[in-house]
Homo-oligomer: A and B are copies of this chain.
Amino acid sequence: MNIKESVSNIFIETTGFTPKRSLQTMLIGRPLATEDAPHQTIGKLIGLAVFSSDAMSSVAYGPQELMMILVAAGTGLLHLAFPIVLGIVGLLMILTFSYEQTIHAYPDGGGAYIVARDNLGELPAQTAGAALLTDYILTVAVSISSGVAQIVSAFPALYTYRVEIAVAMILLIMLINLRGVKESGITFAVPTYFFLVLIFATVIIGFVRLLAGTLGTVVNPPTLETNVLQPLTMFLILRSFANGTTSLTGVEAISNGITAFREPRAKNAGITLLWMAGILGSLLIGITFLSIHVGVIPVDGETVISQLARTVYGSRGPLYLLTISATTIILVMAANTAFADFPRLGALHAGDGFLPRQLTYRGSRLVFSYGIVALSVIASLLVIAFQASVTRLIPLYAIGVFLSFTLSQTGMARRWWKSGHLKPGEEIVEPGSTVRYDNGWKHKMIINGLGAFCTAVVMIVFAVTKFKDGAWVVILLTPVLVTIFFSIHRHYKNLARQLSLDNPAPKKPHIRRNRVIMPISGVHRGTLEALRFARTLSDDITAVHISVDAKETAKVEEKWEKWGEEYRLIVLNSPYRVFLEPLLDYIDKLAAVANPTDIITIVVPQFIPQHWWTSFLHTRTAESLRKALLHRENIVITEVPYQVK
């Protein structure tokens, strides 16, 4: 203990406590000191790898789920997937330009929550947050389920174990995240670029063989189980489009993480976003085009990527297996991204008092442990409930993302409006950024407004076309979550107001009389130890014994005569053999006649046995007494422990 600093009566010390090894440290590593928090920044190449796994991995399920809807109207209509994907890529472009503007406006991080909070108010911000939190959970469930679907495509024998594999993967990612990923960049770059190389190789080789005329069709395609064909309706096409838009989830990731970039960070982040969008768009188009061409059949048993890859490479050879592995890995990386984002957003909400404060607490490895565990548990339950089926999970997915897109873009549009109404040189300082006059505000407002409009339309399409399939869950859940957030907030605000010293209550007079009540079940060494302490508090000591057994009580009275040092003993007969109620009754009566300068101290003798298992052998009256008394006013509870070896 070395005292570092001393200001008047305040002493600051750093304790010599060093963490010990335990099962926990074996699993998640030795505790890290606060000052060990990393402060590195990354460049564009690494940034692309760190922030784009969510977006890029969605090429593994987006086109597939899009085609899955179309195929219900017959395999002959699968070619419609291509124009639909073009529409989705168009939407991607609009989103990209919108978010590019957000990045420049919010160089300290422009997630939907922050943008909505600064420009639209608390309700939209909490809504955006609730939507995003829901969607991060679904990102984990969908990505992992899709990852397992890739593995199962390559090794069909594992199909029966898909739920178990998925849950095991989630728990593994949880452990890794509780350890805290040292974001060295390289751990992200290797798998991401491995995936990009292999998936582009697949697409390019596919096109080359197509042009050379050697690209055949899928050998032994999986059989389709639906017999009854649905008619091709506008509704079907919109549903298919809605399913495809799940590919756009993750586009917002870079705008959340701008601070991680090297300076000029807004510029670097913006360029990275453009790259990401370009790559995502070309992959979506390439994969969909080739899939249609080789006659991929979208089913639950074998993924589109698997069918495409084995057709392009002509067999289930090494290149096929590498492609499948890379796809699985990028999907796991996407889930991993949610493990970074969910706890961070949760901590942001908690810091603003809309979620339990514990979420802001960094665990022994400097990560938001509670958030990580919560995410794993909920995602695992989802995977179990939906049997790790991407198709069954997808109707719940993306609706939250698009809601947050809409709110974020609306907030941006509003921000440009504010900006346009400032005089040059004027500033509005908001928690998330500073608003200044911008020459191009009209132009920029139109871009963000268009983004908001388009994403709103998609969201409505999504909500309507997939309502019955499961979207209703999210539509119902979001307002419920928002309500919970606000009641939590009310609780914290109310508490802070009541505890606050800013408007202090009239100063209470000093305590003049301390009346000590000592509930005893017997007279033993522990009792005397408590009495010894009680004497230091007051001379007004009353022992209270609840009598349920006349023989026992006689013993207590006799012993008190001998050992009670002539203090008062009150025996309360309890005809109904209850302990708590007569005592509380008695205390209430005492409290009713107390002066404001009186205080009642309940001294509870507690013998503490050495082994935990022995606690089953004792009635824990003291414990329930404590819980009941904590809610009484002007009562202090003192436990005098007596150790038994």
B630, A361: Cβ atoms under 8 Å? no
Task: Name the segment of A68-76, A113-121, A399-407, A577-585 touching the other chain.
Answer: A577-585
> How far does the alpha carbon of A21 sit from the alpha carbon of B481 in the complex, in Å?
36
Task: Write the nearest CB–CB distance from A599 to chain B, whole angstroms.
Answer: 7
**Chain B residues with CB below 8 A from A525, complex form:** 498-501, 504-505
A643, B631: Cβ atoms under 8 Å? yes
Instruction: Give chain A interface residues in 286-343, CB to chain B under 8 Å.
Output: none
B501, A571: Cβ atoms under 8 Å? no
A12, B619: Cβ atoms under 8 Å? no
Interface flag for A614 (CB, 8 Å): yes
B495, A644: Cβ atoms under 8 Å? yes
B609, A631: Cβ atoms under 8 Å? no
A11, B570: Cβ atoms under 8 Å? yes
> How far does the alpha carbon of A34 sit from the alpha carbon of B551 in the complex, in Å?
14
**Chain B residues with CB below 8 A from A640, complex form:** 636
Task: Name the segment of A2-10, A127-135, A155-163 touching the other chain.
Answer: A2-10
> How far does the alpha carbon of A608 sit from the alpha carbon of B599 in the complex, in Å?
18
B619, A567: Cβ atoms under 8 Å? no
> How far does the alpha carbon of A352 sit from the alpha carbon of B529 in the complex, in Å?
27
Interface flag for A574 (CB, 8 Å): yes
B619, A576: Cβ atoms under 8 Å? no
Given A362-B577, A526-B499: A636 in contact with B633 (beta carbons within 8 A): no
Given A15-B585, A499-B524: A10 in contact with B560 (beta carbons within 8 A): yes
Instruction: Give chain A interface residues in 548-599, CB to chain B under 8 Å.
Output: 548, 557, 559-564, 566-578, 581-582, 585-586, 589, 599
Interface flag for A33 (CB, 8 Å): yes
Task: Write the nearest CB–CB distance from A363 to chain B, whole angstroms.
Answer: 8
Interface flag for A356 (CB, 8 Å): yes
Interface flag for A364 (CB, 8 Å): yes
A617, B492: Cβ atoms under 8 Å? yes
A572, B13: Cβ atoms under 8 Å? yes
B523, A645: Cβ atoms under 8 Å? no
> How far does the alpha carbon of A111 sit from the alpha carbon of B536 in the complex, in Å?
52
Given A13-B573, A15-B586, A356-B617: A524 in contact with B511 (beta carbons within 8 A): no
Given A31-B576, A576-B33, A617-B488: A589 in contact with B533 (beta carbons within 8 A): no
Interface flag for A427 (CB, 8 Å): no
Within 8 Å by CB of A536, from B511, B577, B585, B609, lies B511
Task: Write the nearest CB–CB distance from A512 to chain B, whole angstroms.
Answer: 9
A637, B635: Cβ atoms under 8 Å? no
B10, A569: Cβ atoms under 8 Å? yes
> How far does the alpha carbon of A362 sit from the alpha carbon of B574 in the complex, in Å?
13
**Chain B residues with CB below 8 A from A589, complex form:** 1
Interface flag for A468 (CB, 8 Å): no
**Chain B residues with CB below 8 A from A494, complex form:** 644
A609, B495: Cβ atoms under 8 Å? yes
Instruction: Give chain A interface residues in 1-53, CB to chain B under 8 Å.
Output: 1, 7-17, 19, 31-35
Copy count, this protein chain: 2
Within 8 Å by CB of A17, from B523, B528, B576, lies B576
**Chain B residues with CB below 8 A from A576, complex form:** 17, 19, 31-34, 364
Interface flag for A641 (CB, 8 Å): yes
Given A10-B560, A569-B9, A573-B15: A499 in contact with B582 (beta carbons within 8 A): no
Interface flag for A514 (CB, 8 Å): yes
Within 8 Å by CB of A535, from B510, B570, B582, lies B510
Instruction: Give chain A interface residues in 161-197, CB to chain B under 8 Å.
Output: none
**Chain B residues with CB below 8 A from A523, complex form:** 501
> How far does the alpha carbon of A630 sit from the alpha carbon of B640 in the complex, in Å?
8
Task: Write the nearest CB–CB distance from A532 to chain B, whole angstroms.
Answer: 6
B577, A361: Cβ atoms under 8 Å? yes
> How far does the alpha carbon of A535 sit from the alpha carbon of B597 in the complex, in Å?
13
Given A17-B578, A569-B10, A599-B536: A608 in contact with B630 (beta carbons within 8 A): yes
Q: Which of A357, A488, A498 has the most chain B CB atoms closer than 10 A to its own CB?
A: A498
A510, B532: Cβ atoms under 8 Å? yes
Instruction: Give chain A interface residues in 277-292, CB to chain B under 8 Å.
Output: none
Cβ-closest chain B residue relative to A586: B15
> How far does the alpha carbon of A572 sit from the alpha carbon of B561 in the complex, in Å?
47
Interface flag for A638 (CB, 8 Å): yes
> How far does the alpha carbon of A640 sit from the alpha carbon of B606 in the complex, in Å?
18
**Chain B residues with CB below 8 A from A644, complex form:** 494-495, 498-499
A582, B631: Cβ atoms under 8 Å? no
**Chain B residues with CB below 8 A from A363, complex form:** 577
Interface flag for A508 (CB, 8 Å): yes
Interface flag for A91 (CB, 8 Å): no
Given A15-B581, A636-B638, 12 more A-B residue pairs with CB atoms under 8 Å apart are A10-B557, A10-B561, A11-B569, A12-B571, A16-B585, A17-B581, A33-B575, A361-B577, A491-B617, A499-B644, A637-B638, A637-B641
Q: Which 8 A-B pairs have the closest CB atoms?
A: A499-B524, A33-B575, A15-B582, A14-B573, A638-B638, A12-B571, A31-B576, A17-B581
Q: List 9 A-B contacts (CB under 8 A).
A: A11-B571, A34-B575, A361-B619, A492-B617, A501-B528, A508-B532, A511-B532, A632-B641, A636-B641
